[in-house]
Amino acid sequence: MIAISADYFVADDTTAVRKVRAFQSQQAIPYPNLVFIGTPDDLTARFEAGGVLPTTLLIDPQGNTVRQTIGILTSADFDTLRALVGD
């Protein structure tokens, strides 16, 4: 699992990366967090996420979107996704 942050548009490269790393540390997020270089609209268009953030996509090894969830996920939501991928 990876996260892609759309924080780039609010600042320069290093500020966005520091902001994402601080959030990841504060929330104890155990997976990589990447910073998308572009606007949130560019990001949601790239992944066909319907222009809404946060959006969670479950993508198979062939690059197909298997599941899309719009909004903030709960722990139970993450458990469901883990069960789908056999984690």
| 0.85 surpassed by pTM | no
- Per-residue pLDDT, 13: 64
CA angle 79, 85, 87 (to 5 degrees): 65
pLDDT, one tens digit for every residue, the chain (87 residues): 788 887 765 556 677 788 888 888 998 888 888 888 877 788 888 877 777 778 888 888 888 888 888 888 888 888 888 888 875
d(C-alpha 23, C-alpha 26), whole Å: 5
Other Cβ atoms less than 10 A from the Cβ of 1: the count is 13
CA dihedral (19, 33, 26, 57) positive or negative: positive
- Per-residue pLDDT, 4: 83
